[in-house]
Amino acid sequence: MASGPPSPSLGRRLVLLELQIAAVLVLLGSGLGSALGQNVYTNTWAVHIPGGPEEADRIASKHGFINHGHVFGDYYHFRHRTVVKRSLSDHRGTQVRLESDPKVSWAEQQVSRRRKKRDTVVEFIDPKYKDQWYLYNSNHRDLNAKAAWELGYTGKGVVVSILDDGIEKNHPDLMQNYDPDASYDVNDGDPDPQPRYTQLNDNRHGTRCAGEVAAVANNGICGVGVAYNAKIGGVRMLDGEVTDMVEAQSLSLNPQHIDIYSASWGPEDDGKTVDGPAKLAKEAFLRGVTEGRGGLGSIFVWASGN
C-alpha cells in the first residue's frame, strides 16, 4: 500500500529536528568542538623539509598546498588549497601523502588550540601614576620598583616583546618606546602588529600588557611602565587560530634582538584543563634558551593564571 503524505505533527517534528541539527553545526563551527575537548583541525600543516625554500615550494605545489614560509629552520607553514578551514576530523589522506613523500621528514596537521588572555585582577580607572599602587605604595607592600629605579634599573637597553592580540604602536604612551624589530603579525603574516578593532574592543589586551611593561614616564600621559625605558614590541598571534606553529613562530621571532618574550595567556583557566606546548613550541623554547641573546638565552615570562 502506498504511504500518504506525512502528518502535520510529523512534519513539524522533522522541521524541528532540522533546526536542531543546523544549530549544532553552527555551534561546532564556532568552536564548541574545542570547548567539548574535541580537536578542531585546521587547513594548515607544519612540515619539515631539509632541502631549502625552493624544495619546500615544490613540495607544497605538488600536494596542493601554498607555502607561507618559514616557521624556523627547515620547518615550513603550509596551507592546503581545498581542505576546509575547520573540521572535527583530521584530513588523513593529505597527511599520509605528505608523510610518504621522500623529501618530507615530518609533517603535522595543525590543531586549533584554545588560549585565554589573562588580565590582571585589578582594573585601574584613573590611569595616573599615583594610582599605580603596585609600583609604589608608601603604606603597604608593593613591587619595590621605586628602589630598583633609584639603582638605575629602568629597562634601558632591554627589548621586550608582548605575545598577544597586537599592540597599538602609535599609542601616545607607547610610541616613544615602540620597537618595530620586536614586532610582527603572525595572524596575518605581515610586519604590522596593530590590533584588529571591534565593537566590543576585545583586542586591547596586548596594548595594556605593553603599557604595564614600558609605558613612557614623565610625558604627562596615563601612568608609567615598570620598565619605562625599555623598548617594547608586540606579536599579534591570539586574534585567530592559535596552533603549535603560530606559538612557535611567535616564540622564535628575532631572538638575537628580543631579550624578553612576555605572554599573559594560556589554556583554559578552569582548574581542570592540562595543556602545554606541542612539538614546535617546545623546540622554539629550546632554541631560545640555548641560542637567543647571543647564547645567553632568551627570557620567556608567562602568566600562571588569573
Q: List per-residue pLDDT tens for the chain, 306 residues long.
A: 455 555 555 555 555 555 555 554 444 444 545 555 689 999 999 999 999 999 999 999 999 999 999 999 999 999 999 999 999 999 999 999 999 999 999 999 999 998 888 754 333 233 578 888 889 888 889 999 888 888 889 999 999 999 999 999 999 999 999 999 999 999 999 999 999 988 777 889 999 999 999 999 888 888 999 999 999 999 999 999 999 999 999 999 999 999 999 999 888 878 888 788 999 999 999 999 999 999 999 999 998 765
d(CA 32, CA 21): 14
Please tell me the distance from the alpha carbon of residue 199 to that of residue 126, in angstroms, as a whole number: 23
User: In CATH, which of 3.40.190.10, 3.30.70.850, 3.40.50.2300, 3.30.70.20 is domain 41-111?
Assistant: 3.30.70.850
CA distances from 27 to 23, 31, 131, 173 (A): 6, 7, 43, 40
In this predicted structure, what is the pLDDT of residue 285? 98
Quote the CATH superfamily of domain 116-302.
Peptidase S8/S53 domain (3.40.50.200)
Let me know: does 212 contact 154? Beta carbons within 8 Å: no
Residue with cell 582548574: 271
Whole-prediction pTM: 0.74
Domains 41-111 and 116-302 in one fold: no
- Paired with 116 in beta bridges are 266
| Rounded Cα–Cα distance for residues 166 and 234 (Å) | 6
By the 10 Å C-beta count (0-12 exposed, 13-18 middle, 19+ buried), 217 is classed as middle
Contact between residue 112 and residue 121 where contact means Cβ atoms under 8 Å apart:
no
pLDDT at site 10 = 56
Which residue carries 599520509 as its cell?
Answer: 96
Alpha helices per DSSP H over 260-305:
279-291
Distance CA(38)–CA(34), nearest Å, equals 5
Burial of 160 (0-12, 13-18, 19+ CB in 10 A): buried
Domain boundaries, the chain: 41-111, 116-302
Backbone angles phi, psi at 102, to 5 degrees: -65, -20
| CA distances in angstroms from 140 to 110, 124, 135, listed in the order given | 48, 18, 11
H-helix or E-strand spanning residue 231 = strand 231-236
